[in-house]
Structure 1
Amino acid sequence: MPELKVSMQPFAGYPATLAACLDEIGADMVFRRRRLIWIKPNLVNDSPFPVTSDPEMIRALVEYVRENSRARIIIAEGCGDSGMETREVFESLGYDRLAGELGVELVDLNHEPLKRLRNPEFQVLPEIYLPKSIFSGMLISVPVLKRHSLAGVTLAMKNLMGLAPPKHYQQGGSWKKSYFHSRMQRSIFELNCYRKPDLSIVDARVGLAQYHLGGAECSPPVQKMIAGFDPVAVDAAGAELLGLSWKDVGHIRMAHGVLGNARPDEKS
């Protein structure tokens, strides 16, 4: 039997579905050993779900972690809309209220102290600046199932673009991470080589079928949740729910065999 890479469950409410996914991959045992857990939702702007992560999904995740760990929990994001600050997005979408109710911290990654890393072999990001704090503890990427106009899909690996500080990666236009747009596929891959998710959970309850900031929803709604420790396998499964082969999504194809495996039995 191949090692279980991904749990995909039919949606039956956030708490029950999340618990089924995470129990199946043994996340409860992993959480027990952790002292610090970062939860990175997709809050690109202040549009409600399914453009951004539903606060109730994050609530269910925090409560599951609390049941299985004494770890410090931080919800962290760096929004992409250049006309807003992340704190405004937190407030607009109800994350400040959620954090108060649950007693967890909110962090704006766009303004965190930075760490400089280098890999001269990379084409787009031979040097990168990322928040120093996210290299300590466990990083959970919690995207929404969506197509993307430049990346093909925006899932667990693409979601980490929110880590990039606008100070270095806003180059005009209306997006704080616009540096990545000209070579999006390669940018996502190289970014994840510096810091990939330790756990990925995709909310595929609805799904955006055409565009990551709105447009047509998947019809019928997908009604799934995906979870796994291998972000490449998770993103491959998500791409397939959107009707795409992972081999046709550049950053997943580049990451396969390097950052994980799209399929347990496929090594190259």
Structure 2
Amino acid sequence: MSEVVTLPCESYAQTVRRAFEQAGGPDALAGFARILLKPNLVNASPFPVTTHPAFTAAAIDAIRAHTDAPITIAEGTGDRDKETDEIFAVLGYQELARCKDVDLLDLNHAPLVEISKPGCTVFPTMWLPEAAFDHCIVSLPVLKGHSMAAVTGTMKNMIGFAPPSHYQGGGWKKALFHRDMHGSIRDLNRYVTPHFTLMDATVGLKDYHLGGPRCCPEVGMILAGADPLAVDRAAAGLLGIDWHGVGHLR
């Protein structure tokens, strides 16, 4: 697996760009005509449950130092009561998109394509947004534990691509993944996985992805890398979790 860069965060503006460059972010962008930024906006809760818009802004600046390709911020929220456009507005992403001149895309309602993958046992066929396959995907998760997945990092962040029209299965818009969380994450990442990750590990939620206690002391780090499995294994270590015991990270 490729190297994961872990840097103490001096500021988003300084450290995100330095981590992006040291971990080979410019190489990951090469050859792509369009860039898709995938923050974690699972619901309307502010950072550290969701990706801070200032972190996403720093990622945009880091990317624009190396390419003129158009950038889209894309998410498909899992919130049972709100649509993604509402989440964008509440969390400051509409204002961010206006200030940075980038597009917003609701993955929950984007045009879909059906794909099959031999060897996938949970999802032998998946419906996913077309945008997942014609953009360079830069994942922007936050460091969190998870009640079912143990760790929610860049691989689990890909669940935002799954359309509720096919994967709701309950109150939460992506509830079908709960039936086999680890197997679902593994299969999903065989279909769509990030080309590069910048993870905000400045705070860290120790146990629960929707709140609960913060890491004490706060972690204070930014992670970056082109290998999502390596990034998530490193993230698990920052939470004091042995990745060998996490199904989708083994």
Range class of TM-score, shorter chain:
over 0.9
Aligned to 1:80: 78
The separation in 2 between residues aligned to 1:107 and 1:166, in whole angstroms, is: 15
Query: In the superposition, relative to structure 1, how do residues 31 and 120 fare at CA in structure 2: closer, same or farther (>3 Å)?
Result: closer
Greater RCO (Cα-Cα under 8 Å, separation 6 or more):
2
Q: Is the 8 A contact 1:32 1:68 kept in 2?
A: no
Aligned to 1:203: 200
Structure-2-length-normalised TM-score:
0.97
SS at match of 2:72: strand
- Tell me whether 1:172 sits opposite 2:170 in the alignment: yes
The separation in 2 between residues aligned to 1:202 and 1:104, in whole angstroms, is: 20
The separation in 1 between residues aligned to 2:26 and 2:116, in whole angstroms, is: 34
Q: Displacement, 1:245?
A: 1.2
The separation in 1 between residues aligned to 2:153 and 2:29, in whole angstroms, is: 22
The separation in 2 between residues aligned to 1:172 and 1:187, in whole angstroms, is: 16
The separation in 2 between residues aligned to 1:12 and 1:18, in whole angstroms, is: 9
CA deviations on 1:211-245 (whole Å, 9 max, x unpaired) are: 00000000000000100000010000000000011
Q: Displacement, 1:113?
A: 0.8
Q: Is the 8 A contact 1:33 1:69 kept in 2?
A: no
Aligned to 2:107: 109
Q: Is the 8 A contact 2:122 2:183 kept in 1?
A: yes
The separation in 2 between residues aligned to 1:80 and 1:29, in whole angstroms, is: 32
Q: Is the 8 A contact 1:119 1:126 kept in 2?
A: yes
Out of 7, 20, 23, the residue aligned to residue 21 of structure 2 is 23
The separation in 2 between residues aligned to 1:93 and 1:170, in whole angstroms, is: 23
Aligned to 1:92: 90
Aligned to 1:189: 186
Aligned amino acid, residue 202 of structure 2: R
The separation in 2 between residues aligned to 1:171 and 1:34, in whole angstroms, is: 34
SS at match of 2:65: helix
- Tell me whether 1:126 sits opposite 2:119 in the alignment: no
User: Sequence identity of aligned pairs in percent?
Assistant: 46
Aligned to 1:258: none
CA deviations on 1:48-90 (whole Å, 9 max, x unpaired) are: 0000000000000111111111111000000001200000000
- Tell me whether 1:153 sits opposite 2:151 in the alignment: yes
Deviates more, 1:43-52 or 1:164-173: 164-173
Q: Displacement, 1:28?
A: 2.8
CA deviations on 1:84-127 (whole Å, 9 max, x unpaired) are: 00000000000000000010000000001111111253221011
Moved over 4 A (4+): none
SS at match of 1:159: helix
- Tell me whether 1:221 sits opposite 2:218 in the alignment: yes
Query: In the superposition, relative to structure 1, how do residues 123 and 251 fare at CA in structure 2: closer, same or farther (>3 Å)?
Result: same
The separation in 2 between residues aligned to 1:128 and 1:33, in whole angstroms, is: 26
Name the Cα RMSD after superposition: 1.2
Query: In the superposition, relative to structure 1, how do residues 195 and 32 fare at CA in structure 2: closer, same or farther (>3 Å)?
Result: closer
Q: Is the 8 A contact 1:32 1:70 kept in 2?
A: no
Matches for 1:235-246 after TM superposition, within 5 Å:
235-246=232-243
CA deviations on 1:131-170 (whole Å, 9 max, x unpaired) are: 0121002001110000000001100000000000000001
Unaligned runs of 5+ in 1: 254-268
Query: In the superposition, relative to structure 1, how do residues 126 and 16 fare at CA in structure 2: closer, same or farther (>3 Å)?
Result: same
Q: Is the 8 A contact 2:28 2:226 kept in 1?
A: no
Q: Is the 8 A contact 1:29 1:68 kept in 2?
A: no
SS at match of 2:222: strand
Structure-1-length-normalised TM-score:
0.91
Q: Displacement, 1:31?
A: 3.3
Out of 49, 52, 63, the residue aligned to residue 51 of structure 1 is 49
